[in-house]
Amino acid sequence: MAPFAEVEVTLVDLDPELEQLCDGFLEPLDVDDQIDGSGSAAPDAAFGVRLCYRVIYDPVTDGLEHVVYYPARSDPTAAQYARVPAATRRALPVIVLSAQRPLQLRAEGVLRRLVDERDAEGASAAFRALEQSVAAATATLAAHPTISATVDDVLQVGGLSQRLADTAITAEAVRFQPEDGSLSALLRTVQPALELDDAGLLGLPNHGSTTSAVLAAAEALLLATTTHHAVVLGDDFGDGLDAATSEHLAASLRAAAAQVWLSTRRPEVARAFVPAELVRLARLGGVRSHHRLAAPVDKKEIAVRRLVHTQLLPALTAPVVAIVEGPHDLTTFTAADRYYGTTRPPLAAVGVRLVSADNGSGGGTGQIPRVADLARAFGFRVIALIDRDPDKTSATVLADIEAACDVVVRLPPKTAIEQALQTGVDAVHLRAAAGVLPTYGIPDPSLGRSDSELSSAVSLVLHKKGLQEQFLDAVVENSGALPPVIEEALTTVNRVADPAYGGPSRVDLSSPPAATSAKAAQ
């Protein structure tokens, strides 16, 4: 374990109050708003301040020490720190989104902070009035004849109360109060309740986690909009929220705050930001890394950027993407991956997400290198799963794909997705599968065709009508198994997805043996 970890930030554009608080620790900035350590800063240079948070592990006590300090006047190697005072830290316009319950009036609650910032004196008066009202109510409760008579019986039975005081104790000496009787204890016990429908007034936990998450988000948004130059920090943002609300809140925070730093597993949250604002954290092969996209330099790269939101964001938390040529390949392999009658684990089990190279204006092998470059720039391990149609994959295109991907998996020779659905499948099963096409208004292409003509006729219809997924379902239903080429392709992707894979960077699949006709077997 490393002895320490730390995060350092440089604050610029300081307001006069912060400059005063940080006096003695300010440092000149260069033209890029970075600390100028040259010793010859411009006379009119603006000033900023560096803050550093360090957590130190002590193996002797097995404990952690947390330090926030000014690097300008500190020597961490000698354990000499110019610590940042708590008053200075509180003056920073930083909002940390937390997972605590919303609508809390206790001291650490966001609602309490909002109330105090709106009118501290009014809030104090309201809390004092509550305290007095509760004291009066509990006094009335204790004085009620039923309560006081029962308490007297408890105090008098066996004369045990004489052990507590020199004189006899009666019910008049007993009061009831929340916990220790302090205002803070009272405010901890006062919890929000909402009337949202005909179920009536229910405590917040009874409305479910989504209600709590939405209210917590609303508090955070209000805090961001009422804090000047707010910097919002949030971890696991969007957990507990539905897709639309998480995206809306992220976009609202982005618009309201000076800076927003959110970590998330939700693609909807990332969708609220432009691609250049996204930083993806990755870990492949035991190595941690962070990745950010460079600005596009031509219109083709701008077109590829569309894939960030449509294709790569759904794969946000997957370490590996497998790129296929177009939507028909994507839906076919995705449907095949869902098939449960195989011992092969699904792609998700090894962290693979299938994506299409189609950016809305056409896919194909020529588009794969651009998508692969984009995915690798985001820190994904990239696999290409492509046809081996000689008319579409020239040596130059193949070289470009191999250069952009970690591994390239190619279907057997002269095989596109339509042939992959049929190669190695008995003609009887193919004819039965083709028989479902009239359900979609397409004539059965197998009628009047010999077995040798069957594949070409079916492939032509599937390619023109886009019914590859439906044909796959029919093949599986009739044969009881995935087509051999499809199964082998998915198995190979599973194998090469492992970061420890050390085999060739191009894997060419072989054609399976021709299926034995059921009629010939008879």
pLDDT tens digit sequence for 328-358? 999 999 999 999 888 899 999 999 999 998 8
Confidence of residue 520 (pLDDT cuts 50, 70, 90): very low
Q: Which two tokens stand for residue 474?
A: 């029919």
How many angstroms separate the Cα of 386 from the Cα of each of 299, 398, 472? 25, 10, 18
Q: What would the pLDDT profile of 462-494 be if each residue is shown by its tens digit?
A: 999 999 999 999 999 999 999 999 999 999 999
In the predicted model, is pLDDT for residue 359 greater than 80?
no
- pTM of full prediction above 0.85: no
Q: Which helix (H) or strand (E) holds 121?
A: helix 110-143
Q: Are strands 201-203 and 193-195 parallel, antiparallel or unpaired?
A: antiparallel
Neighbours of 503 (CB within 10 A): 11
Could you give the CA distance from residue 490 to residue 473 in angstroms, rounded to a whole number?
Answer: 16
| Bridge partners, residue 9, by sequence | 51
Q: How many percent of the chain have pLDDT more than 90?
A: 61
Instruction: Tell which residue, 469, 476, 477, 481, has the closest CA to residue 344.
Output: 481
Average pLDDT over residues 178-185: 87
Confidence of residue 361 (pLDDT cuts 50, 70, 90): low
In the predicted model, is pLDDT for residue 461 greater than 80?
yes
Exposed e or buried b per residue across 357-385, where buried means at least 16 C-beta atoms within 10 angstroms of its C-beta: bbbeeebebbbbbbbbbbbbebbbbbbbb
Q: Which residue type, as a one-letter code, is found at position 420?
A: A
Amino acid 521: pLDDT: 43
Cα-Cα-Cα-Cα torsion 312, 317, 322, 326, nearest 10 degrees, comes to -30
Could you give the CA distance from residue 178 to residue 282 in angstroms, rounded to a whole number?
Answer: 49
Q: Which residue type, as a one-letter code, is found at position 60?
A: V
Query: Structural domain boundaries of the chain?
Result: 4-89, 110-208, 297-521
Confidence of residue 518 (pLDDT cuts 50, 70, 90): very low
Residue 260: partners with Cβ closer than 8 Å, 6 or more residues away? 231, 232, 234, 250, 253, 254
In the predicted model, is pLDDT for residue 240 greater than 90?
no
Q: Which helix (H) or strand (E) holds 297?
A: none
Dihedral of CA 115/116/119/121: which sign? positive
Residue predicted with more confidence, 522 or 260: 260
